[in-house]
């Protein structure tokens, strides 16, 4: 079998070559197709960013118009899918619902014979429908009437409209909220070979359809150490607030080797400095709350917790800094997004990255089925014991 190198968590294994996202964890740099994340957050739309990741360059005006029109055309979901939603139990987690719904899209929209056309349609359909599915799952879980997408609204505004408009009271689409959501989704759009993206590539390597590969990415993202961290951060900040705001005791708990508790929203496999996305998020959060004329005790606690941790030798020596999830939850709360929908918000943002990585992998001339090896530690050859002789 040759020599097998053990690399737990694949921390030192390059699983592919990629020209999509550049990350420098030591210097805190993140670029999509060469463009710094800061420039995209400032100037690009989410649609442009999605196009950039998937096609390799920013769209021309005509390409963007065409892409926008297709997204509008695909935005409603098959009426029969609503029956699915209604049969999930009321407390079903939205990530479980979303991954099932995305996987079921193949049954509703069968494969198109022409491969290029199939890819084009599937990619646009997914980007468009994920937003509708997410908003529908929220409305149905609340027992509210589903709100349909509007062709005149931008990608982000349309999502907010479907989430918060109602037949009873019209939702006022505030520009600052749309702006914050655009930046958050851009910041989430890709992050090279993270756990969910690796899941998409690995499952995709068996040549499953794109819906199934993306569904596996959503499932991986559900975990509290990955996309569920934004929800876990809010739960932690709430616990600190309820305990009287004592940040120090939580920092001490996180340092205790006999306690499995970790500071949520802190630390990153690749960044050994401040996550560049967290720098932007902190600012977005501050501006959003200001624009909405709101204060949030959790933001003050987050700032204090950050300051307490960053002065502590344990966090300094291990290069543990806030990551993107540390502040996104507070922004989502200000927008009115329920806590259990936070990972869904991450999934919508990450979708263009998953798609771009899937496309790159299936077009790779050196493509191989993903099939890691192991180092066996079980018993040597052992004889079968008939059941009446077992003790």
- Which amino acids are annotated catalytic? 268, 325
CB of 308 to ligand CMC, least distance (A): 12
Q: Does 234 bind ligand CMC (CB under 6 A)?
A: no
CB of 92 to ligand CMC, least distance (A): 23
Write the binding mask 163 to 182 for ligand CMC: x where contact by CB under 6 A, - elsewhere: --------------------
The span of 210-218, 219-227, 288-296, 349-357 binding ligand CMC (CB under 6 A) equals: 219-227
Per the CB < 8 A criterion, the answer to whether 293 and 35 are in contact is no
Size of the site for ligand CMC (CB under 6 A): 21
CB of 230 to ligand CMC, least distance (A): 8
Q: Which of residues 245-274 bind ligand CMC (CB under 6 A)?
A: 254, 262-269
Among 165, 190, 306, 325, binds ligand CMC (CB under 6 A): 325
Among 226, 286, 287, 303, binds ligand CMC (CB under 6 A): 226
Q: Does 343 bind ligand CMC (CB under 6 A)?
A: no
CB of 267 to ligand CMC, least distance (A): 2
CB of 10 to ligand CMC, least distance (A): 11
Task: From 205, 139, 179, select the one nearest 338 (Cα to Cα).
Answer: 139
- Closest CB to ligand CMC among residues 28, 267: 267
- Closest CB to ligand CMC among residues 136, 330: 330
3-state secondary structure the chain: CCCCCCCHHHCCCCCCCCCCEEEECCCCEEEECCEEHHHHHHHCCHHHHHHHHHHCCCCCHHHHHHHHHHHHHHCCCCCCHHHHHHCCCCCCCHHHHHHHHHHHHHHHCCCCCCHHHHHHHHHHHHHHHHHHHHHHHHHHHHCCCCCCCCCCCCHHHHHHHHHHCCCCCCCCCCHHHHHHHHHHHHHHCCCCCCHHHHHHHHHHCCCCCHHHHHHHHHHHHCCCCCCCHHHHHHHHHHHHHHCCCCHHHHHHHHHCCCCCCCCCCECCCCCCCCCHHHHHHHHHHHHHHHHCCCCCHHHHHHHHHHHHHHCCHHHHHCCCCECCHHHHHHHHHHHCCCHHHHHHHHHHHHHHHHHHHHHHHHHCCCCCCCCCCCCCCCCCCCCCCCHHHCC
Among 158, 323, 328, 361, binds ligand CMC (CB under 6 A): 323
Among 125, 191, 201, 282, binds ligand CMC (CB under 6 A): 191
CB of 321 to ligand CMC, least distance (A): 10
The rounded distance, in Å, linking the Cα atoms of 375 and 2 is 11
Among 194, 197, 231, 357, binds ligand CMC (CB under 6 A): 194
CB of 109 to ligand CMC, least distance (A): 29
Q: Does 193 bind ligand CMC (CB under 6 A)?
A: no
Q: Does 95 bind ligand CMC (CB under 6 A)?
A: no
Please give the residue whose beta carbon sits closest to ligand CMC in the complex. Answer: 267
Per the CB < 8 A criterion, the answer to whether 95 and 347 are in contact is yes
Among 130, 288, 324, 334, binds ligand CMC (CB under 6 A): 324
Binding site for ligand CMC (CB under 6 A): 9, 191, 194, 225-227, 229, 254, 262-269, 318, 320, 323-325
């Amino acid at each position: 079998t040759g020599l097998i190198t053990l690399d737990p968590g694949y921390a030192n294994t390059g699983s592919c070559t990629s020209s999509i996202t550049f990350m420098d964890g030591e210097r805190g740099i993140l670029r999509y197709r060469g463009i710094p994340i800061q420039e995209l957050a400032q100037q690009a739309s989410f649609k442009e960013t999605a196009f950039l990741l998937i096609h390799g360059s920013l769209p021309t005006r005509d390409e963007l118009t065409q892409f926008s029109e297709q997204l509008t055309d695909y935005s409603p979901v098959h009426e029969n899918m609503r029956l699915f939603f209604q049969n999930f139990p009321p407390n079903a987690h939205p990530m479980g619902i979303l991954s099932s719904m995305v996987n079921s899209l193949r049954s509703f929209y069968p494969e198109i014979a022409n491969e290029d056309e199939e890819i084009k349609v599937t990619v646009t359909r997914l980007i468009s429908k994920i937003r509708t599915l997410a908003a529908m799952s929220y409305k149905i879980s609340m027992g509210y009437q589903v709100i349909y997408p509007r062709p005149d609204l931008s990608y982000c505004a349309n999502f907010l409209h479907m989430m918060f408009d109602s037949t009873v009271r019209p939702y006022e689409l505030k520009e600052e909220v749309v702006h914050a959501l655009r930046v958050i989704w851009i910041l989430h759009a890709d992050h090279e070979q993270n756990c969910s993206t690796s899941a998409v590539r690995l499952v995709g390597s068996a040549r499953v359809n794109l819906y199934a590969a993306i569904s596996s990415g959503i499932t991986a993202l559900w975990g509290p150490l990955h996309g569920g961290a934004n929800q876990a951060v809010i739960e932690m900040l709430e616990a600190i607030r309820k305990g009287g705001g004592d940040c120090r005791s939580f920092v001490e708990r996180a340092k205790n080797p006999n306690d499995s508790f970790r500071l949520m929203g802190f630390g990153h496999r690749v960044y050994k400095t401040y996550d560049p996305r967290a720098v932007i998020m902190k600012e977005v959060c501050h501006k959003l709350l200001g624009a909405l004329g709101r204060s949030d005790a959790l933001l003050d606690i987050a700032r204090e917790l950050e300051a307490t941790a960053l002065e502590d030798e344990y966090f300094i020596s291990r290069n543990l800094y806030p990551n993107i999830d540390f502040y996104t939850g507070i922004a989502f709360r200000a927008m009115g997004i329920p806590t259990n929908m936070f990972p869904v918000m991450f999934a919508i943002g990450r979708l263009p990255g998953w798609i771009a990585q899937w496309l790159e992998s299936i077009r790779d001339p050196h493509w191989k089925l993903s099939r890691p090896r192991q180092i066996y530690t079980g018993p040597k050859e052992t004889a079968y014991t008939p059941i009446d002789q077992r003790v």
